[in-house]
Amino acid sequence: MSSSTPTTRPAPSSSRAWDPALLKRYDINGPRYTSYPTAPSFHDDFGAEDYEAALSRSNASHRPLSLYVHVPFCRRICFYCACNKIATKNTRLAEPYLSRLDREMVLTSRQLDTSREVTQLHWGGGTPTFLTLGQMSDLIDRLEARFGLSSSPERDYAIEIDPREADVLTLRHLQALGFNRLSLGVQDLDPTVQRAINRVQPRVLTETLIDEARRLGFRSLNLDLIYGLPHQTPASFAATLSQVIEMAPARLSVFNYAHLPSHFAPQRRIREADLPDSDAKLAMLQATIEMLEDAGYAHLGMDHFARPDDSLARAQRQGTMTRNFQGYSTHGDSDLVGLGVSAISRVDDGYAQNPTALADYETALDAGRLATAKGIRLSLDDRLRRRAIERLMCDRHLDLAALGREFQVDATTRLADALARLTPAFEDELIEQHGHRLTVTPRGRLLIRHLAMAFDAHLPQQTTQRFSRIL
C-alpha cells in the first residue's frame, strides 16, 4: 500500500518522564472534560424553552456553527461499545429517524441566524455508514436546506466509518457530499482480540479505505485504537501499533478501554479474566507514546496524536484547539448544535442534551417541540472554570492573568481553591507555577485529567464512579 511518514519530528514528551509508581498513585476515576460542567451536572429543570433561548442569544455573537449528527444504528454490536446505539440490519428503520432529524432541524433553525457559516460538521454514532448512499444524500440535503453548508476549503466535515461496512464507492459518495475528513474505527488488528470483542476486521479492509481516501484527496484521516481489550498484551498491541504506523494516518486516537458492564450491557460479553491488568495497560500506554513519537507524531494530549502538519496539531500550536464531545477538535470559536438521540449541544452559555431513549426523542418531536431532556445554563464561575480547564487541557499551560482579563475578575483569587487542590501535583512536579502562569510538565501530561479535576467545583457533589479511570 502507499504511505507517507511525518517529516517533522516533535520533541519527546510524556513517556520520557515515565514513573509507573507515580502514575498508579494518580490513576483514579475522573471526567474526560469534553464539557464543563460535565454531563452529571445537567438537570431536567433545563428544557426546550431554555435551549431555544440559548440558541436565540447565540446569534448576537455571530459565531460560526458546528453541527453534530448522531446516527445510532449498527448492524452488529461490538462488545466493548459504550455508545448510544440500536442494533439492526434493516436500513428502512432509518427512514422515520431521518424524518424526525429533519423536524429537529426545522425547530432548531427557527431560532438561529442561518447565515452563520457551518464551519464544522460531524456524523457520529452508532455507525453513520449504516445509512444507504441515498439516505446519506437525503440527510445532507436536509442539513443544507435548514442550515446552509459551507464549501470553504477550511471547513472540517467529518464522518465516522466502520471499515467493515464501507467501500470505495462509499468514500467517493462521501467526498461528493462534501466530507473532507474521515475517522475509521480499528481498535486492534490482532485476530484473537477482534474475535473477543465481536469485531472481526482484517487489516486489508482498513488499508484499502486508507489508500482510496488518499487517492481521493481527503484532507485528514483518523484511526481509533483501544488498549485494555481482552487478550491484549503489550507485545500484541505493539504489533498493532507497528502496522498502524505503516498506514501513516494523519491522526490517531488511542483510547483506554473502560470496563463498566453494569452500565453497558454489551460489555457483559467480555470476561474480566481476559482483560489485561493495570501493569500491562500502563506498558501499552508507554509503548503507544514512545512508538508514535518516534514515528514523528505529536502527542497533543490524553489519547490524541497527530502529524505536525495536520490541522489539529497546527491548532494546538496556534492556541485554537478545543475540547468537545468528539475529544480534541479544531474550530473552537463555534457554537455546537447537536442533532439526534442523545446528542449534546454547547450553545451560548448553556448545554442541552436530547433524550438517550429513542422513544422519548420521537415523542417530543412528534409533539412539535425540541427534544431537550436536560441541560444547564452556566454561571460566571462555570464559564471561568470551563475556560481554565479547556486551556489547561489543550495548551498544557494556563495564564491566570489573561484569564482574569477575559472575564474581568481576579482569576487567581477566584480559583484559589483549585490552586490549593493542586498542592500535591506541585510537589510531585506534575505542574509548575511561575507568577500567574501554570505549566504542565512532561510527567504531568498523562495526568492532565487529574489536574483539570482541581478546577471542577461540581465534582465534590458527584461520585467519581460515574467516570472512567484516568489511565
Q: How far apart are CA 16 and CA 13, in angstroms?
A: 6
Please report the pLDDT score of residue 84 as a whole number.
79
Closest CA to 119 of 333, 326, 387: 333
Q: How far apart are CA 86 and CA 83, in angstroms?
A: 10
Q: What percent of the chain is modeled with pLDDT above 70?
A: 96
Q: How many helices (H) and strands (E) does the chain have?
A: 17, 19
How far from 84 is each of 81, 254, 264, CA to CA, in Å? 9, 20, 10
Weakest mean pLDDT among 108-112, 140-144, 175-179, 443-447? 443-447
Task: Sort strands 118-125 and 86-87 into parallel, antiparallel or unpaired.
Answer: unpaired
- Give the residue range(s) of CATH 3.80.30.20 domains in the chain: 42-338
Q: Write out the DSSP string of 51-65.
A: HHHHHHHHGGGT--E
Q: Angle at CA 107, nearest 5°, toward 101 and 112?
A: 115
Q: pLDDT tens digit string along 23-56? A: 999 989 999 999 999 999 999 999 999 999 999 9
Please check the confidence at residue 5 and state whether its pLDDT lies above 70. no
Closest CA to 322 of 415, 395, 376: 395
pLDDT grade, residue 87 (50/70/90)? confident
Residues 279-308 have a mean pLDDT of 95
Q: Which CATH class is domain 10-37+379-471?
A: mainly alpha
Please report the pLDDT score of residue 8 as a whole number.
42
pTM of the predicted structure, to 2 decimals = 0.93
Task: Sort strands 437-440 and 431-434 into parallel, antiparallel or unpaired.
Answer: antiparallel
Instruction: Name the E strands within 257-297.
Output: none
Q: pLDDT tens digit string along 254-269? A: 999 989 898 888 999 9
Amino acid at 335: D
Task: Sort strands 65-71 and 118-125 into parallel, antiparallel or unpaired.
Answer: parallel
Please check the confidence at residue 13 and state whether its pLDDT lies above 60. no
Please report the pLDDT score of residue 332 as a whole number.
78
Please check the confidence at residue 339 and state whether its pLDDT lies above 80. yes
Q: How far apart are CA 2 and CA 450, in angstroms?
A: 40
Residues 172-201 have a mean pLDDT of 97
Please report the pLDDT score of residue 3 as a whole number.
42
Q: Which CATH class is domain 42-338?
A: alpha beta
Contact indicator for 455, 388 with CB cutoff of 8 Å: yes
Amino acid at 269: R
pLDDT grade, residue 2 (50/70/90)? very low
The mean of the pLDDT values for the chain is 93
Please report the pLDDT score of residue 469 as a whole number.
85
Which has more confidence, 411 or 259?
A: 411
Q: How far apart are CA 16 and CA 286, in angstroms?
A: 9
- Give the residue range(s) of CATH 1.10.10.920 domains in the chain: 10-37+379-471
Q: How far apart are CA 193 and CA 236, in angstroms?
A: 9
All three cell numbers of 74, joined, read 449498527
Alpha helices in 148-228 (DSSP H): 168-177, 191-196, 203-216
pLDDT grade, residue 10 (50/70/90)? very low
Please check the confidence at residue 63 and state whether its pLDDT lies above 80. yes
Q: Write out the DSSP string of 443-467.
A: GGGGGHHHHHHTT-SSGGGS-GGGS
Q: Write out the DSSP string of 241-257.
A: HHHHHHH--SEEEEEEP
Which has more confidence, 76 or 371?
A: 371
Beta bridge partners of 210: none
Please check the confidence at residue 218 and state whether its pLDDT lies above 70. yes
Q: Is 190 left (phi over 0), alpha (psi -120 to 50) or beta?
A: beta
Please report the pLDDT score of residue 17 as a whole number.
64
Q: What percent of the chain is modeled with pLDDT above 90?
A: 84
Q: How far apart are CA 275 and CA 282, in angstroms?
A: 13
